[in-house]
Structure 1
Amino acid sequence: MTAELFQHQFPNGLVLLAEPMPDVQSAAFSFLIPAGAAFEPADRPGAAAMVGEWIIRGAGDRDSRSLLSVLDELGVAHSEGAQTVHTSVSAAALGKNLLPALGIFADVVRRPTLDEQEVEPIRALCLQSLRSLEDDPGSKALTELRRRHFADPWGRSAIGTVEGVTAATPDDLRAHFRRAYRPDGAILGVAGAFDWKAVKDEVARLFGDWEPGAPTEIVERPSGPSRSHIEQETQQTQIALAFPTVPVSHPDYYRARAAAAILGGYTSARLFTEVREKRGLCYSVFASYEAFRDRAAVVCYAGTAPDRAQQTLDVTLEEIRRLVSGGVNQEELDMMRAGLKSALIMQQESSMSRSGSLASDWYHLGRVRPLDEVAAALDALTPEEVGDFASGFDLDAMTILTLGPEPLQLG
């Protein structure tokens, strides 16, 4: 049964989406604001992440401590942070506390204190996150892969760079806030136990007079190189690669998701079976689907001992080529379908997860997909359709990056 969905776009451009969930007592919201790393100055990478941390350190008439205290008193679980495109603010609480939580976060995104005394602690925190990336070579490899595969600014990591975070001044950060935090392009998804009229009226009161701003001009710069090695003395060699696929809005989206999942999206997928189970080459190996509004990629990763790294890369590439040339069978399609349907069912049980999906769907599609529509699209897939789609993967556009003590033969 398709759930009821409410939607409203305010004159300033803010989109409100709301889906009641009759069987839950919680309510959650996910707020996507077009203020991510793609919109920060090119010479200040990390500014979006710093502002995302700054806005929660005091807002309205509350300082940092009193802001966090009132959220704790309401039992609000929350998270804030910058990604590549958006800065997201999300929260979940008992349904009766949804409107008070929205009021608090209206101050956070519209009227943060932006106390200069908080900048140095924020800088230290961001630099610590950057340094911790050096201790997590797998994450570092994937971060560097995205930077090389997607055109700038879409390949940017919200974490930024040491140079950018070190150079950012309070004035730089305030300028990013004034430029990027605006209602036009912002999406607010709400799910769970709530009254639609009360939510709509409160959002109108809290955000209706929020003035839209001028969109930030995006200038794309070429990515690359397509083949690279980062030398680092590590216990393992990290292998990361990406190749283009279709975005969420494309008619072949479900075929794309199926192909990526069959390649490496679950524990009996091809990469797991051939690289780990049959050959014992590594413990961690996967493939995933990653998308922006107008572009997407299949991203693959494996971490292995240096003396097994070349074979791991060779087998991974061979499995990708086998998917392109050999198609898929009914059994693996059924396993893929079961996994994605299980994820859908779990999403129905979480107000936070569902509110995020509402906002994400609107960003990618300009509409919200009913869960029944997604399930029907998965049921309709055939091995022939998925195989035909995979045969069109452009492997010549593949980006390969390795990280470890010795470079590999990348082909």
Structure 2
Amino acid sequence: MNPAVKIKKLSSGITVLAEEMPLVHSVAVGFLTGFGSKHERDFPGGIAHYVEHMLFKGTLKRSKADIAEQIDAVGGRINAHTSKEYTSYFAVVLDEHFTLALDILTDMYLNSAFDEAEIELERNVILEEIKMYEDAPEEKIHDLAFQNIWDGHILGRPIIGTEKSVRQIARADILACLKSFYTPDNTLIAVAGNVRADEVFQQIEARFDGFRGKVREYQELPVAIVPGIKTVKKDTEQAHLCLSTKGVAYSSNDRFTLSLLSSILGGSMSSRLFQKVREQKGLVYSIYTYPTFYQQAGLFTLYVGTQLKNARQVLDLSLKELTLFKQNGVTPTELQRAKEQVKGHLVLNLEDSASRMSWLLKSLYNYGKLSTVEEIMQKVDRVTGDDIQRLATEIFIKEDLQLTAIGNFTKSSFFQNLDC
């Protein structure tokens, strides 16, 4: 572990991580609670995202305007993010304003008012956000792909919820979620920047004195792939396609293998799909692949946006590339380039206090431990071409392919016979 990182479990049960970065002039503070959309089985869909919004709408001593103005007054920024597995809140300020940032986030986390009038106002905001996604098929397609391939499983539900589920959320539901999941043993706090770890631990310990509770037990059900073809008719300029298949979980030894596979196949401008379908054929503007990792599941997805008349040809070309990937593997040049890309992105994305703070939170939450950048790079370097070809043959199979498409299709049978 990086010697600049210190970890301490407070008397309340909260785990705190602090990374001392004396050469920067900023501090990033982040709170993570293990409550995302996958934990909503007994609650209306979208409530984790709703709670995230509400923490910015005023506390017992700060109005929502106060929260925004106090951060703006010191040139900082504050935001939050809800995922399928967790919700995070963070602030980034100059190092001299660390205490203010910590005080605001703590106040939001422990003392939000959840005023009924604000709840109703925010309901309208979230409903508008849902409508915005409905009008953006290039965004909506990814949620639909998850819903289709994990049909019936809670991981397939949209994080934001639906119009129906959001209208059902009441203040009592929000308070029940807080009691069930916003607990010390389900909370991580990370601070990175020009701070002293001992001071960080002391300040957080004092602010969370008296914070009590135990997280509600959660049993995740097994995830099963549902293959098939689903099209959504919509009057759009382009057809939007997501071809998905099974991936791997965070804990899998194949996590870096899949990342390299994605980089070679469709993760950059030099990737096979980008070069073949866009540069050589001129059939698309946007084509890319990406892996999605969760604690007990994962997906691999190919996205394409193209004219309706080209959609079938683009899909066929993409399926052919998957077949070639299985048959021929990767070249030494492709493998080395992909490794340098993955390592480069890793290092370049950890150059400031905010990214370091996020790295600490997600690493401990997803893996239960912290790894150094050097350790991750060594794992990337150990992946072989045979590893990638073997994984390709395991995930690129007809029985696991799910195609989701949005476009002005005249027939539901526009796409047929997925195979690779």
| Range into which the TM-score falls when normalised by the shorter chain | over 0.9
Amino acid at match of 1:71: I
**1:19 equivalent in structure 2:** 19
**Contact conserved, 2:71 with 2:101, CA < 8 A, in 1?**
yes
Q: CA deviation at 1:82?
A: 2.0
Q: 1:16 to 1:209 in 2, by over 3 A?
A: same
Check the 8 A contact 1:180/1:216 in 2, yes or no.
Answer: no
Q: CA deviation at 1:170?
A: 2.4
Q: Give the deviation of 1:195 after TM superposition.
A: 0.4
SS at match of 1:56: coil
Give the aligned residue type for 1:398: L
Deviation at 1:205, TM superposition (A): 1.4
The answer for the alignment partner of 1:59 in structure 2 is: 59
Q: Does 1:181 align with 2:175?
A: no
Identity across matched positions, percent: 25
Q: 1:159 to 1:334 in 2, by over 3 A?
A: same
* Change in 2 beyond 3 A, CA 1:33/1:69: same
**Residues 120-131 of structure 1: matches in 2 within 5 Å?**
120-131=120-131
Distance 1:186 1:53 in 2: 18
- Secondary structure of the equivalent of 1:374? helix
- With over 3 angstroms needed to count, the CA separation of the structure-2 counterparts of 1:174 and 1:202, relative to structure 1, is same
Letter in 1 for 2:403: I
The Cα shift of 1:106 comes to 0.9
Task: Quote the residue 1:401 is aligned against.
Answer: 404
Is the Cα–Cα contact under 8 Å of residues 22 and 195 in structure 2 kept in the other structure?
A: no
Query: Could you give the per-residue CA deviations for residues 50-72 of structure 1, whole angstroms, max 9, x where no partner exists?
Result: 21111111124111112222222
Structure 2 distance, partners of 1:211, 1:307, is: 59
Could you give the per-residue CA deviations for residues 273-319 of structure 1, whole angstroms, max 9, x where no partner exists? 12211111110011011111121111110011000001111111221
CA distance in 2, matches of 1:30, 1:271: 37
User: Residue 391 of structure 1: SS of its match in structure 2?
Assistant: helix
CA distance in 2: counterparts of 1:85 and 1:348, whole angstroms: 22
Counterpart AA for 2:232: I
Superposed CA offset, 1:140-162 (max 9, x none): 11111112223622122221101
Name the CA shift for 1:230/1:379 in 2 (closer, same or farther; >3 Å): same
Q: Bigger shift: 277-286 or 64-73?
A: 64-73
By how many angstroms is 1:131 displaced?
Answer: 0.6
Verify: 1:46 aligned to 2:46, yes or no.
Answer: yes
Contact 1:2 1:372 in 2 (8 A): no
Residues 71-80 or 54-63, more deviating: 71-80
Aligned residues of 2:81 and 2:87 also touching (Cα < 8 A): yes
Provide the C-alpha distance between the structure 2 equivalents of 1:223 and 1:62, rounded to a whole number of angstroms: 46
Structure 1 residues 108-155: Cα deviation after superposition (integer angstroms, max 9, x where no partner): 111101111112221111111111112210111111111222362212
Structure 2: tracts of 5 or more residues without a match = none
> 1:171 Cα shift?
2.3
Q: Deviations over 1:296-351 (max 9, x none)?
A: 11111001100000111111122122222221111112221222222223223221
Match of 2:336 among 334, 337, 350: 334
Q: How many residues align?
A: 411
Residue 137 (str. 1) matches residue 140 (str. 2) = no
**Structure 2 CA distance for aligned equivalents of residues 43 and 246 of structure 1:** 28
Return the alpha-carbon distance in structure 2 between the equivalents of residues 42 and 265 of structure 1: 37
Question: Per the alignment, do residues 174 and 6 of structure 1 end up closer, same or farther by CA in structure 2, a change over 3 Å counting?
Answer: same
In structure 2, what is the Cα distance between the partners aligned to 1:341 and 1:214?
Answer: 36
Alpha-carbon separation, structure 1, partners of 2:66 and 2:177: 25
* Structure 1: 5+ residue stretches without partners: none
Task: Return 248-257 or 139-148, whichever deviates more.
Answer: 248-257
Q: 1:138 to 1:81 in 2, by over 3 A?
A: same
Bigger mean CA offset, 392-401 vs 161-170? 392-401
CA distance in 1, matches of 2:261, 2:11: 41
Q: Does the CA contact (< 8 Å) of 1:39 and 1:218 recur in 2?
A: no
8 Å CA contact 2:227–2:401 kept in 1: the answer is no
Helix, strand or coil at the partner of 2:200: helix
Deviations, residues 204-252 of structure 1 (Å, cap 9, x unaligned)? 1122432123425346486746421111111111110221122222222
Deviation (angstroms), 1:93: 0.9
* 2:247/2:292 contact within 8 Å kept: no
The residue number in structure 1 matching 2:312 is 310
Once residues 29 and 319 of structure 1 are traced to their aligned partners in structure 2, the CA distance between those partners, rounded to angstroms, is 44
